[in-house]
Structure 1
Amino acid sequence: MHSQDHTWITTPVTAGLLRGALDLERTARGVLPHRLPARARAQCADGQLAMAESQPSGVRLVFRTRATAVELDTLPTKRLYVGAPPRPDGVYDLLVDGRPAGRGTVQGGTTLVIDMSRGTATTRPGSVGTCRFTGLPGRDKTVEIWLPHNETTELVALRTDAPIEPAPESGRSVWLHHGSSISQGSDAASPTTTWPALAAALGGVDLINLGLGGSALLDPFTARAMRDTPADLISVKIGINLVNTDLMRSRAFAPAVHGFLDTVREGHPGTPLLVVSPLLCPIHEDTPGPSVPDLGALGEGKLGFRAAGDPAERAAGKLTLTAIRDELCRIVAQRTADDPHLHYLDGRDLYGEADFAELPLPDGLHPDAATHRRVGERFAALAFADGGPLSPPSARRGSSARRTV
């Protein structure tokens, strides 16, 4: 499987080489990083959640080495939407001493065939492939391989042409973030260019990304995972998935938000905690969910979504993004009387009406690569800048910046 022009050293992939994962599952071939712990996964049988949390957004291999060549064998799971153009292969980003140094993909792998018009998904087994990076500088250096943010990625073998050792802790503050598919990376160009990864790089913090596509639903098991994960800075982006799924009415929403924040606070009583409301999404600003596939767009070979709710249903407590922003603002204002480290950010300050006019959402829900960059830059400026709600004071840096698996 691998090239023969190097003397290869194979190193087992262990938790000590990974950042950004909360669990590491042993498999028949190797290991599978997870972004939710096993206990959380056992409490929800939803296939969408299982797919999202096993897609390693923000998860990266990090090690020190003098190697000039690196090979990583993986078994990816790629998604194919019936009627839509094939999605590009997931991207592996290489960083050397924190700077971009290469980009690769893995051919083959398992395919998950999703028929949105029928609501079905079938799996086609596939084979292991290899991502290869060569021409690295021969000096001692820190190498990071960021795994695809949108492909479940089983790690089979790691080979280098020189020994490797785990990288020391960075000493930077650890930022734990939870949100929807937009936070997971949706249609970003690569794992280091999702908006949270860009924001983390600009803010000088280490990211743990619990952006879970379709699954930012105020689940108690996610709150407990956040409670139990060491972090110096925390943010929670709430709203769009609750409307997407039409999961709850207004009566349930506020208590669920309070409960989620209460649970996070059990493990992080004084940690800066930022509540972020939804980015602008015109189809759901004043129209409830659920979101459903736009079959007209699918007929033209494009992915698209529309709001299937009726604005008249707001009177019965159906949620819209406007209602969610108003309630989140009220909840945070109420809680800050007893919690001075709690903050609120209106998601329209990250992506609002002027941004939508310039950079519309291609499928009605998800931002493109250029919008991810804009949101990441704005979040870093609003949250991580000096005096911002998540500004990392030097006294707090590295206080709990330890590995999570």
Structure 2
Amino acid sequence: MTRFLPLPVAEPDPVTNGLQVYIVGGAVRDALLGLPAGDRDWVVVGATPEAMSARGFVPVGGDFPVFLHPVTKEEYALARTERKSGRGYQGFTFYTGADVSLADDLRRRDLTVNAIAQTPQGQLVDPLNGLADIQARVLRHVGDAFVEDPVRLLRLARFAARFADFSIAPETLALAQRLVAEGEVDALVPERVWREMAKGLMSAHPERMFEVLRNTGALQRVMPGFVFDVRLAERLECASASRLSLAGRFALAVLHSPSPETLARHLRAPVEVVDYSRLLPCIVAWQCGTALGEAGMPAKAGKASPESVLTLIEQADGLRKPDRFQALLQAAACTCQEEQSTMSMAQWLTCLAKVHDVDAGAVARSCAGRPAQIKAAVREARLAALEGLVS
């Protein structure tokens, strides 16, 4: 039997005194799993926006009333219900009347493990048996309304990546497949897909997120052109174990897709992620002694030489961004072992240092009166610095 650790009892709070407030969602779930406590979200039952403002809460909600506590800055949302009114995850009408109960609010959530509440005094409120599913290590939908919101599919995939020892209830997987078949997933905007994908990629087992999306038929709908190859799990497990950045993990995930950079841009990923996706295939082709040909199949690449080493450093902007270049090499190491690599990390760091130490200013001064020759002269000096370091 797993030992569960409830959230600590909250200190008496004069701001919320007299209100029905509950801690809900992820903070309760993670505490029950014995995981470090993150940000707490609160739900308020039986209150109105006017009553919240009168207590000093600051409204920040858009579609429905959410408030920031005037002291702790934690989020307090009025209990609400929702009704499907259109396509996609934005096609909902919310009701936040004072007659909405806590059970009503919990029933609108995605998974039972996220539908547990706790009073400030430490008592659990669990009308949907989320605690039993935590004990059984099962991700289960709350109700059939799961199929109405495609974001819930993304969250299911992300939670599968975070909680690797949890299975997905068969009926929940069936609903997720139905959500895709009915076209709800097509209403997702790339920015929303990226937000959930970024969280899943930074989990311990990001490969499970892609497996869920593939098994539900959603993968090609949200990431057109993505190649789910046989070594994807291995690369992503290595990325997690190596504590790679988000940019490195995404670049590894899309490495064998026909156009990694295009996929990153499709998801409106940050510029750093786009750059990693564009550069990693070149680093892998060189460092692992292979080039990625059609369908990601390996083809022979060139050997190490001062010319090829400097060219790769230049292509990856390694002189201006040496930390990124080193991070790309670490990501490439998840595709081939160091003993199989063209050069070791230590060799690369030595080469980078030698090239960086070339005094470009002095070379430029030696070309006084011949400005057109400066660029070539600097490059020759850098090549000379690499002589003897690589064969």
Shared fold by TM > 0.5? no
Q: Which has the larger radius of gyration?
A: 2
TM-score, structure 1 length as denominator?
A: 0.27
Bigger strand fraction: 1
Q: Which has the higher contact order (CA 8 A, sep 6+)?
A: 1
- Structure number with the higher helix fraction is 2
TM-score, normalised relative to structure 2: 0.28
